[in-house]
Homo-oligomer: A and B are copies of this chain.
């Protein structure tokens, strides 16, 4: 494969980084809107999602075009199709930011049932996982990808702790807060789903690298 193909792969990398930046920004802004109970900021997250959807299509077309024009060999083909999957995962992460923003708009009128402590923690884990998963792809580094998988149980247990506290300390003891508690519980689940998408990306990266090694460098296994 020649210089043009390599340049276009670089362009694909940089588009995926842009997609990643948009998705991470959407999550950060949705959680900030939650913290500030700011429906205007939440609405901005929702409105901005069309940019993410557009970029997803652009990247997808670029990948198809790369495959069709250059007919890349197996390892590059796998890199490109993994890029297509990442692109889809990042779009779903941005969609989850929209889900969070929609909850914020519903909740903005009322005070929180409890101070937000574990939700910012879960957000930090989610952001770290997404960032690392994308880094792993760009660097084609399965060790970084494996670290993402190790973080997922932490996200699950934060989500479960939030669930338990909201049900036992709030819904059961003060049923008038049930709706507000449910909204926070859903937001915790949304954030944990961001972690799931980071996990899917990491698994794709590990699979991409492993298939590569299995096919071309079995001695490295």
List residues of chain A with CB under 8 Å of any chain B CB. Answer: 57, 63-64, 67-68, 71, 73-74, 77-78, 81, 84-85, 88, 163, 167, 171-173, 175-176, 178-179, 182, 185-186, 189, 207
Q: Given known contacts A64-B74, A64-B81, A88-B85, is B172 in contact with A167 (CB within 8 Å)?
A: no
* Known contacts A63-B81, A171-B178, A182-B182, then 16 further A-B pairs from the complex at CB < 8 Å, ordered by chain A residue: A57-B207, A64-B77, A64-B78, A67-B81, A68-B74, A71-B71, A81-B81, A81-B84, A85-B88, A88-B88, A163-B182, A167-B182, A172-B179, A173-B175, A178-B178, A182-B185
Q: A57: which B residues are within 8 A, CB to CB?
A: 207
* Copy count, this protein chain: 2
Jot down 13 A-B pairs with beta carbons below 8 A, ordered by A: A57-B207, A64-B81, A68-B74, A81-B84, A84-B84, A167-B178, A171-B175, A173-B175, A175-B175, A178-B178, A182-B182, A182-B185, A186-B189
Chain B residues, CB < 8 A from A73: 68
Contact, CB under 8 Å: B171 / A182: yes
Q: Which of A64, A182, A185 has the most CB of B within 10 A?
A: A182
Chain B residue numbers with a CB within 8 Å of A189 are 186
Partner of A67, one of B67, B163, B175: B67
| Residues in B neighbouring A185, C-beta threshold 8 A | 182
Q: List residues of chain B with CB within 8 A of the CB of A74.
A: 64, 68
User: A178 contacts which chain B residues (CB < 8 A)?
Assistant: 167, 171-172, 175, 178
The CA of A62 and the CA of B84, in the complex, are separated in Å by 17
**CB-nearest residue of chain B relative to A65?**
B74
